[in-house]
Amino acid sequence: MAIIIDGNELSRRQREITAKEALEFTEKAGRPPGLAVVLVGEDPASAIYVKNKKKACETAGIRSFEYRLDSGTSREELLGLVHRLNADDLVDGILVKLPLPAHLDSQEVLLAIDPGKDVDGFHPYNMGRLLTGEPTLVPCTPAGIMCMLREHGVSLRGKDAVVVGRSNIVGKPMAILLMMEHATVTICHSRTVGLEAKVAAADVVVAAIGRAEMIRGDWIKPGAVVIDVGMNRTASGLKGDVQFEEAARRASLITPVPGGVGPMTITMLLDNTLRAARIHAG
């Protein structure tokens, strides 16, 4: 039976470290690290997410600035706000909650964020730094997963890792981070042929698909490490991309959903904000 990685507990410990370091920063810089969160529209899930972020910031000693704009906000208004935040010395991190309403171009907004304040790590500058082996601000979900693997003493050197999903926010940066730790990485996606066999050969499986329990438990190689990023709302509650019970019988380590990868994502956002603040303060 696998050891279950407790993302809540790891997050709690990690946030304590961040809070201590944020306090040290505040004493030195004369101001706390600051995170601006921009929410356009009324999406209830996004609103909950923003509320949780605010609470997490307060606990970690990070000042949070919240901007709630109505769904009719124009391109010019939103870009104007991003430019003002770029120039604001109290703001170290800027997060524009995606998805944006359809009339706004999220790529354009993303490009407008100062890469030094791009705490989501989605700006092409930060993606490029990651790809060239000099990461600065790394996307939070894959960064959180690497933290989990480190904390559990997982050695990736020479291991076969399979990442299912190739999104810019999870799959691609995840694959690069695993490769940087010397894993041999296969990236799978919706056109992959023979997914089951690829997963079955993997020492480490990261599932970031968005399809409830698509990775069957009996595909997992005995002793493998299984990281489930998926968050799928189903009639029987929140489910991951991995069929948990059977996978847990075969894996050596596994993340649950909920309580696995999710909490670590916000934790890494706080960490990135502190990192950005330190860079700004020189």
Binding site for ligand NDP (CB under 6 A): 141, 164-167, 169-171, 188-192, 195, 208-211, 229-232, 261-262, 265
- Are 239 and 230 a contacting pair, CB within 8 Å? yes
Q: Please say which residue, 91 or 206, places its beta carbon nearer to ligand NDP.
A: 206
Q: Please say which residue, 41 or 259, places its beta carbon nearer to ligand NDP.
A: 259
Q: What is the pairing mode between strands 63-69 and 34-40?
A: parallel
Count Cα atoms within 13 angstroms, Cβ side, for 118. Answer: 22
Shortest distance in whole angstroms from residue 5 CB to ligand NDP: 13
Shortest distance in whole angstroms from residue 34 CB to ligand NDP: 23
- Are 174 and 163 a contacting pair, CB within 8 Å? yes
The alpha carbon of 107 is separated from its chain's Cα centroid by a whole number of angstroms, namely 18
Shortest distance in whole angstroms from residue 144 CB to ligand NDP: 7
Shortest distance in whole angstroms from residue 141 CB to ligand NDP: 4
Q: What is the pairing mode between strands 3-4 and 253-254?
A: parallel
Shortest distance in whole angstroms from residue 160 CB to ligand NDP: 17
Tokens of 166: 């190739």
Q: Please say which residue, 94 or 229, places its beta carbon nearer to ligand NDP.
A: 229
Tokens of 191: 């056109």
Shortest distance in whole angstroms from residue 171 CB to ligand NDP: 5
Q: Please say which residue, 91 or 199, places its beta carbon nearer to ligand NDP.
A: 199
Shortest distance in whole angstroms from residue 159 CB to ligand NDP: 21
Cβ-proximal residue to ligand NDP, closest one: 167
Q: Please say which residue, 32 or 260, places its beta carbon nearer to ligand NDP.
A: 260
Q: Please say which residue, 57 or 91, places its beta carbon nearer to ligand NDP.
A: 57
Q: Please say which residue, 87 or 235, places its beta carbon nearer to ligand NDP.
A: 235
How many C-beta neighbours within 10 Å does residue 75 have?
13
Q: What is the largest CA-CA distance in the chain?
A: 56
Count Cα atoms within 13 angstroms, Cβ side, for 185. Answer: 20
Measured CA to CA, the distance from residue 63 to residue 66 in angstroms comes to: 10
Shortest distance in whole angstroms from residue 29 CB to ligand NDP: 29
Q: Please say which residue, 157 or 191, places its beta carbon nearer to ligand NDP.
A: 191
